[in-house]
Amino acid sequence: MTALASSLGEAVKAAFAAEGVDESLVRVTPSDRPDLADFQSNTALAAAKALKLNPRELAQKVAARLDGHADLKAVEVAGPGFLNLTVSDTALAARAAEVGADELTGASAVASPRRVVIDFAGPNVAKPMHVGHLRSSIIGESLKRLFRFRGDTVWGDAHFGDWGFQMGLLIVACADEGLGAPFLAEGDGPFPEETPVTLEDLERLYPAAAARAKEDPEFRDRARKATAELQGGRPGYRALWRHFVAVSRTALEREFGALGVTFDLWNGESDADPLIPDMVADLKARGLAEFDQGAWIIRVAEEGDKRELPPLLLVSSEGSAMYGTTDLATILQRRREQDFDLVLYCVDQRQSDHFEQVFRAAYKAGYATPGQLEHAANGTMNGADGKPFKTRAGGVLKLHDLITQAKDKARERLREAELGQDLSPEAFEDIAHKVAVAALKFADLSNSRTTSYVFDLDRFMSFEGKTGPYLLYQAVRIKSLLRRAEGERAAAGDIRITEPAERDLALTLDAFDQAAADAYERRGPHLVAEHAYRLAQAFSKFYAACPVMAAPDAGTRASRLALSRATLDQLETALDLLGIATPERM
Ligand code: ARG
């Protein structure tokens, strides 16, 4: 609830209670008709029947009781019994001042903080990051910030894909190229410290090996064998693998860094591996794992399922642990290490069945309690054809190339708009980078998490409309206003609300609390994005209607400066929750 709605709520509750309505039925919400009122209550319509009253009559009685309340400028009954509430200017000014002084810029923390692991991005060793990883990375980063902001203890975990068949593929591909010979020989070292493979090697070897394995059964078998030997602990393979992991991770961290995405943990799938033998034994001993056609499975289908969910494959007929096995063991690992209340998996919705299998298996086994595991599924970024975005040549677009492309476009746009032209080349680069990231992230986060959207760099990068660059531009405009005020020694002071645009701005500032809480509850950063946009628009209208430096008197100027300051703080907070940094100037 917005703070104003909740403080008004108390008064409205008391008024209804005096008419015999149970307090728990009373609701106050932002008005559907902002042109008529700030808030509304539809409670009379719902409550009148039980009292055998006409709703309009009940609403009128309540309105009479509220009449004259200090926080209210007007109370009106509309239609069949809606209560329209207009906040007094003083209450609005007091709330805006509160927002301005508040560390959370008007938002509130959760009542009982939790321990939350956010599993996101899910990059893999050697496989290049592509736009398929984009949404998970951007949304996960934002949820990590939002949960932390509201007071939870949060670990962002990359859940590094460092353990599967791709490792065996790389080992045999290295062997065939004569790369890393000391590691490939039998025996157990000592192995050189020097990296025998470069990132370029990995990026070249992996796709070739993956393609070859599809056509060449002999190669595939060798890769399988190498995977098994690696997992079985063959020292040279382990040492070589550590190089793959280190080289990949360094490159990935650089790429994520460019996108403003960071992790608290880089736990790999391999880290959960040591827990697998005991876990499998436990599941077998308790009869939860069943032997079926040579494999061990856990049945997870439930009565009433709309469609049959296949069992989770625990141990394949070749004796290997599978993707689901690793995820199950990772739950045990996280229970030990983070003692979580919640694990949020920010992963593509195409993996929904996988997570449903894992969660049900984990609940059955008592590894987590229902509700503690949650798949925050995301849609994809699509091409104009409605399919996951591909490059013109038909390949998957690498994240690195996407960022480069976005930066090129950002420079071009800045030049066209004649922005940042008087800055040093370094400062200009920094701005171009911020604009590029803001464009990509805001385009992503302004869509709801589950919908897919169409890639359109031109639109994302526009300085007009609902875009990242527009929001940065608004923030920078306020910064430059505040700098000017400082230069002229004009200080902020008590907030007074008189103009309609000031009312609007103050009401919008008040609404952040609700937006942040809803975004948190629904794992929906788009609600924060929406709020940031509304706030920028409200400021823009205010700035056009209410001169600040040229205000009619010093008191008004001080008030408007305080409103501007509160707006900037909240706007930057909201953008920060989206993972977007604002430059000082443009
Ligand atoms: N590495 C996986 C992939 O690229 C994503 C991992 C998602 N997280 C998880 N706990 N399974 O598809």
Q: For the segment 299-350, what is each residue's pLDDT rounded down to a tens digit?
A: 999 999 999 999 999 999 988 889 999 999 999 999 999 999 999 999 999 9
Preceding peptide of 190 cis, ω within 30°: yes
Cα 379 to ligand 1 centre (Å): 15
Residue whose CA lies nearest to ligand 1 atom number 8: 122
Strands, DSSP E only, in 35-105? 39-41, 72-78, 82-87
Q: Is 119 in the pocket of ligand 1 (CB under 6 A)?
A: yes
pLDDT of residue 185: 87
Rg (the chain; Cα; Å):
29
- Whether residue 97 contacts residue 133, with contact meaning beta carbons closer than 8 Å, is answered with no
Most distant CA pair in the chain: distance in Å?
90
Interface pTM, i.e. ipTM: 0.98
pLDDT score of 1 more than 70: no
Tell which one of 119, 167, 399 to mutate to probe ligand 1, the residue whose CB is within 8 A of the most ligand atoms.
119
Whether the predicted pLDDT of 129 surpasses 80: no
Task: Answer yes or no: is the C-beta of 327 below 6 A from any ligand 1 atom.
Answer: yes
Is 469 a pocket residue for ligand 1 (Cβ < 6 Å)? no
DSSP state of 299: -
Phi–psi pair at 491, nearest 5 degrees: -100, 155
In DSSP terms, 120 is beta-bridged to 346
CA 329 / ligand 1 centre spacing (Å)? 14
In terms of pLDDT, which residue wins out, 330 or 384?
Answer: 330
Q: Looking at ligand 1, which atom is closest to the CA of residue 124?
A: 1
Number of the ligand 1 atom closest to the C-alpha atom of 327: 10
Q: Between these two residues, 535 and 192, which has the higher pLDDT value?
A: 535
* Average pLDDT of the segment spanning 544-572: 98
Indicate if the pLDDT at residue 388 is higher than 90: no
Residue 122, ligand 1, Cβ within 6 A: yes
Query: What domains appear along the chain, each with residue ranges and CATH number?
Result: 4-87 (3.30.1360.70), 88-108+120-146+379-586 (1.10.730.10), 165-259 (no CATH), 272-368 (no CATH)
Please give the pLDDT value at position 187: 81
Question: Atom 5 in ligand 1: which residue has the minimum CA distance?
Answer: 122
Model confidence over 399-432: pLDDT tens digits? 888 999 999 999 999 999 999 999 999 999 999 9
Nearest atom in ligand 1 to 132's CA = 4
The bridge status of strand 342-346 relative to strand 115-120 is parallel
Give the global pTM: 0.95
Q: Ligand 1 centroid to 266 CA: how many Å? A: 13
Contact by Cβ (8 Å): 118, 101: no
Over range 139-152, report the average pLDDT.
98
The chain-wide mean pLDDT, for the chain, equals: 94
Beta carbons of 87 and 73 less than 8 angstroms apart? yes
pLDDT tens digits, one per residue of 241-264: 999 999 999 999 999 999 999 999
> CA–CA separation, 139 vs 64, rounded Å?
48
* pLDDT, mean of residues 551-565: 98
Distances (CA, A) of 68 to 55, 63, 72, 82: 22, 10, 7, 18
Ligand 1 atom at shortest distance from the alpha carbon of 133? 4
